[in-house]
Structure 1
């Protein structure tokens, strides 16, 4: 249905989406990237839907203004690695180097962001594979494969065939948060649901999972503010 602008200061871009399952008009602001989606149920015209969105323009602007600012990855920017903030600086040699307060990235400035992203993905794979192996061994189960994505809707998933998938951005979070997501997805190897039996498996693997789970709900959206493109 396309994108429309709600006029004002500033104008707000709204993406219209029709859904046969929707029972009423709904307006949603993504906590991950600020996308505004207006969902229309069957029988509601675009004009009526846009009128609904315009009536909530002040709320939309307040909500968008409260979201974390975008951080473009470049020399001088600060980036969390395993929960600790580091300043990005130009490095020498051939390898990215992690110091107590800095990330040193060699090479020309135009390759800094993709090079740092590749390094973070590799580090995320190592940490997530190690955590998944430990939790799977505790259950006496195996998984088929491990893949990394930059998903915005979920931090991890487990397929019916035993494939584990994770967001590489978990490497930006504190280690306990990454470990919780690994425990959560590995628990699905035993319980492919979110029943009390599933949460009992998570608690068996990680008894203190409440704290990292709460961190992810509270702070997780902010991990998507770091832009490598």
Structure 2
């Protein structure tokens, strides 16, 4: 049986393949390009990625009712008042509590970013404009040409050390806009273990699939 995939025709310069955390394979091609040829060419890579997704799913099966926070899984308990207990890894949510949780996470991330973006920008010798916190579906963070930084609210799922890496990564773009050799040299200077961090970010991106759905639906 061949690989199942969805073909999306767009006015893009180069064809590409996207694999969603759900395991859905999307083949994006410009008009007139045969997607089957690209799938055959990339079949080994596609199957490897699908195996990684399935392995992660099996490893963390049954954890979809928990909250991933600071790299650890917290029990979610319904109660009268919202609270977070890091010692016992418990989050108490009142009715419609995900709105409260979302606001709390944003406050925690804002406080952390206000300090760390300023700190690391000083260390890297770069200047930025504004810092935004958004709920992003496809990226941990981004840096605009104007020097504005956008960070995904879901960064709160990560261990703090990985959030540090994301901040350094985005600030490095203010010195080297593209992912060039010079860019990775800059990143490596301030975060030597960046290759491991990149691999960890991909793993966590799979883990937060249900978290993204939860924040979209509020359930």
Q: TM-score range by the shorter chain?
A: 0.7 to 0.9
TM-score (norm 1): 0.70
Structure 1, unpaired ranges of 5+: 1-11
TM-score (norm 2): 0.73
Partner of 2:68: 80
CA distance in 2, matches of 1:167, 1:156: 6
User: Which of these two proteins has the greater Rg computed from alpha carbons?
Assistant: 1
CA distance in 1, matches of 2:182, 2:101: 40
Alignment RMSD: 3.4
* Greater per-residue strand proportion: 1
Rate the CA distance shift 1:178–1:91 in 2: closer, same or farther, 3 A: same
* Greater per-residue helix proportion: 2
Partner of 2:97: 112
**Alpha-carbon shift at residue 34 of structure 1 (Å):** 4.3
Partner of 2:179: 194
CA distance in 2, matches of 1:205, 1:171: 22
Tell me, yes or no, if the aligned pair for 1:97 and 1:104 is still in contact at 8 Å: yes
Tell me, yes or no, if the aligned pair for 1:22 and 1:42 is still in contact at 8 Å: no
Q: Secondary structure at the match of 1:191?
A: coil
Determine which of 135, 138, 146 is the counterpart of 1:153: 138
Partner of 2:84: 97
Deviates most, 171-180 or 132-141: 132-141
Deviates most, 81-90 or 191-200: 191-200
**Alpha-carbon shift at residue 202 of structure 1 (Å):** 1.4
Partner of 1:172: 157
